[in-house]
Amino acid sequence: MNIDAAFKLFDVRGKYPQEVDERLAFALARALAQIKKPKKVLACCDTRESSPSLKEFLIDGFSTDNVPVVDLGEAPLPMFNFAMTTADYDLGVMVTASHIADDENGFKIMAAGPLPLDEQELVNVKEATRQFQSDPIVVPRLAPEKINLSDRYIDAILKLVGIQKPKLKLALDVTQSAVVTTVMVIFQKLQADFHLVNANHSGNPLLAQNRQDLEKAVVSSQADLGVIWDSDGDRAVFVDRHGKLIPLSFTLGMLAVDALGRLPGRKIAVDVRAGLAVRDLVEQAGGKLEILPAWNEFTKFAMAADPEIAFGGETSGHYVFSDFFRIDDGILAALRFIRLFEQGKIEPQLAQLAKKYFELPEKNFPCSPEKSTAILEKLTNDYRASGYLVSIKDGLTVFAPDWKFNLRQSVTEPYLRLNLEAKSETVAKSIVSQLQKQLE
């Protein structure tokens, strides 16, 4: 294990077994038992090969301190978060590294709510984990209770979106995602016409190479819409009938407008990367936009603190629903977008948005956190000196009459991430070219 490498801003993740291993799982559970003093813990894991073993040692760690554990088994993150609301769990831990590479794993830790631990709480847990890293792993004193909430979760989702058969032909990519069983059951219950994509790729749907099989399948099967989920199922990304990515700002804006239809005049929380299309769609629908740092935990904290926020989302494909326990749920997001799409108004609207805004898919520049601080400071000074409106809330955001970009250091990987929206592809390419020269 490598505690310093594995503990991130809001979760724990790293290379398996070099940084995250069974001993870390055991020590982490003992640290959480000491710091949080839970009376009942919910445990769960995704579909990675290393996840069941890590979950077993995590449960053993809690059992060593006589903390009762309920084992949800293998499930997507939205179902885990939903499960946290169904009983008096005061702590939950899911073994997952989200969309990160298959050779990594980690832990998402949730307090009651469900809400993630804040930054200081995780620092405290990190230091407590050090105390237990050399302790012997002992035979557990308590066997976990095993539960299955799949039917209950599916019923709750279908209550929100309805049980009528979708009017669309769909292509679904659940490759290496914990949603696979849940998605199959839901779409079979709906008697949907869908093609299941047979692919072999990693779990990050934002990477173009991971969408290639879905994009081809949408065209070859003559589907109306394609959906792909990330590894733990809290994100969804969509592909149109032509096999092209639907810009995530467009999806975010449309789901926000849909939420305002249920809760008129409320606030919509989005991250700093959200493009001008989101702003315009929300304002036209009578909503009030609230800008947050990029990371869905900030969205959850904001929504827990402010009941006026009807919906929150990010251009990473996270969508958080106030009418569903403030859970970022990629399955619910997909079903709600499908319901919007089958009304026949979305495709013409997408065509109009595409004429007005060009969104560059997220672009990654390799850069260590140590270098990124100096680079962002220099770029901030340069753009300010050139007369541009600049914000340094979560990296650097620069506003111009016909473009906007956000450049920020990833908190999970050694990249500077660029999100850019412009009035045309030509303008976008010009800005990217300028930034690449400055980053060299």
**Per-residue pLDDT tens for 114-138?**
999 988 999 999 999 999 998 888 7
Residue 97 covered by a domain = yes
**Claim to verify: residue 131 and residue 56 sit in the same structural domain:** yes
Say if residue 104's pLDDT is above 80: yes
Note the helical H segments in 103-239: 119-132, 150-161, 180-189, 208-220
Residue 243 covered by a domain = no
Tokens encoding 3: 């505690």
Say if residue 303's pLDDT is above 90: yes
Given 354, 385, 418, which residue is the final one in a domain? 354
pLDDT on residue 401: 85
pLDDT on residue 205: 94
Rounded to an integer, the average pLDDT of 371-382 is 93
**Claim to verify: residue 24 and residue 116 sit in the same structural domain:** yes
Residue 32 covered by a domain = yes
Q: Which helix (H) or strand (E) holds 369?
A: helix 369-385
For 267-279, how does the pLDDT look when each residue is reduced to its tens digit (9 = 90+)?
999 998 888 899 9
**Claim to verify: residue 181 and residue 142 sit in the same structural domain:** no
Contact 78, 329 (CB under 8 A): yes
pLDDT on residue 410: 87
- Using 50, 70 and 90 to split pLDDT, how confident is the model at 438? confident
| Closest to 425 (Cα-Cα) out of 242, 247, 212 | 247
Q: What is the CATH number of the domain that holds 428?
A: 3.30.310.50
pLDDT on residue 91: 98
Residue 344 covered by a domain = yes
Say if residue 330's pLDDT is above 90: yes
pLDDT on residue 76: 97
| Closest to 369 (Cα-Cα) out of 326, 413, 318 | 413
pLDDT on residue 293: 87
The C-alpha atoms of residue 424 and residue 295 are separated, in whole angstroms, by: 27
The C-alpha atoms of residue 243 and residue 222 are separated, in whole angstroms, by: 10
**Claim to verify: residue 332 and residue 389 sit in the same structural domain:** no
**Claim to verify: residue 89 and residue 120 sit in the same structural domain:** yes
Total structural domains within the chain: 4
**Claim to verify: residue 13 and residue 127 sit in the same structural domain:** yes
Q: Which domain holds residue 417?
A: 357-439
Given 338, 354, 370, which residue is the final one in a domain? 354
**Claim to verify: residue 304 and residue 429 sit in the same structural domain:** no
Say if residue 174's pLDDT is above 90: yes
Rounded to an integer, the average pLDDT of 359-367 is 88
Rounded to two decimals, the pTM is: 0.90
**Claim to verify: residue 383 and residue 288 sit in the same structural domain:** no
**Claim to verify: residue 267 and residue 342 sit in the same structural domain:** yes
**Claim to verify: residue 331 and residue 404 sit in the same structural domain:** no
Neighbours of 372 (CB within 10 A): 20
Pick the more confident residue, 423 or 227.
227
For 228-256, how does the pLDDT look when each residue is reduced to its tens digit (9 = 90+)?
999 999 999 999 999 999 999 999 999 99
Given 354, 388, 405, which residue is the final one in a domain? 354
Contact 421, 249 (CB under 8 A): yes
Which residue has 């219950």 as its token pair? 189
| Closest to 13 (Cα-Cα) out of 114, 92, 121, 122 | 122
Q: What is the CATH number of the domain that holds 92?
A: 3.40.120.10
CA 275 to chain centre: 18
